[in-house]
Amino acid sequence: MCAEHWRRLDPALRSEVHRSYQARLQAQLRLRAGSITTQAFASTAARHEEACQRAVAAAAAAPRRQA
């Protein structure tokens, strides 16, 4: 997603993507430390992917500026 689309996204959607990204990073760290299961990590990664897909869809649906 380009920076312009990211800036034009609804702030709540940007927050959701950011939170899911942070959760995914934390899950990766816990997985490496051995305190999280592979299944739990896969679930966290799937939630992040869903949030990103919603953000991309919202950016695609946003009206484009005319140059």
pLDDT of residue 52 exceeding 70, the answer is yes
Residue 45 lies in a domain: yes
> What is the total count of domains within the chain?
1
Residue 4 lies in a domain: no
Residue 23 contacts residue 44 (beta carbons within 8 Å): yes
Residue 67 lies in a domain: no
> What is the predicted pLDDT for the residue at 22?
92
- Whose CA is closest to 38, among 47, 48, 28? 28
Can you give the residue range of the structural domain that contains 50? 10-61
Residue 5 lies in a domain: no
Residue 2 lies in a domain: no
Name the pTM for this structure: 0.64
pLDDT of residue 64 exceeding 70, the answer is no
Residue 49 lies in a domain: yes
